[in-house]
Amino acid sequence: MAHAENETTISRAPEDVYAFLADGLNNQAWRSGIQAIALKSGAAGALGAVYSQTLSGPGGRPIDGDYEITAAEPGRLLAFKVVAGPARPTGEYHLSEVSGGTKVRFTLDLQPKGLMKLMGPVITRTMEAEVAQLATLKTVLEAA
């Protein structure tokens, strides 16, 4: 299994961080590689909501990366699974209140299948780059 995780502390309340993360339309503000995103079904940030997103793939080629929210516990946990595209990881944002703000831990997991198993190191590097973007999330939220 490919796994990546990162954490940071953001000088904002857990409810604020959660609300920002739960609304997938905010992803373009802090995640590079998103070409387009839209709410496809459900209520924004709610359990079962599906976001349609187009990501920059190899060579900048657009690839699908639609995802569904699978757990929604305001101020504590937001989980999702990718439901379209070549790689379909699951991810979780764990939030906890700490002195001066919110500790955010972002994890991604992927069980490669078929030929994708041969690309394990590349997949892991891509996932590590994705979770590293928490630094940008911190910058965006603390500037707001």
pLDDT given at position 98 = 97
Consecutive 10-residue runs of the chain (144 residues): their mean pLDDT? 95 98 97 96 95 90 96 98 92 97 97 69 85 97 93
The CATH number for 121's domain is 3.30.530.20
With tokens 């764990």, the residue in question is 94
pLDDT given at position 104 = 98
pLDDT given at position 60 = 85
pLDDT given at position 118 = 62
What DSSP character marks residue 129?
H
pLDDT given at position 49 = 98
* Beta pairing, strands 90-98 & 101-110: antiparallel
Give the range of the structural domain holding residue 31, as residue numbers without chain letter: 2-143
**Burial per residue of 125-140, b for 16 or more beta-carbon CB atoms within 10 angstroms, e otherwise:** ebbeebbebbeebbee
Q: Tally the domains of the chain.
A: 1
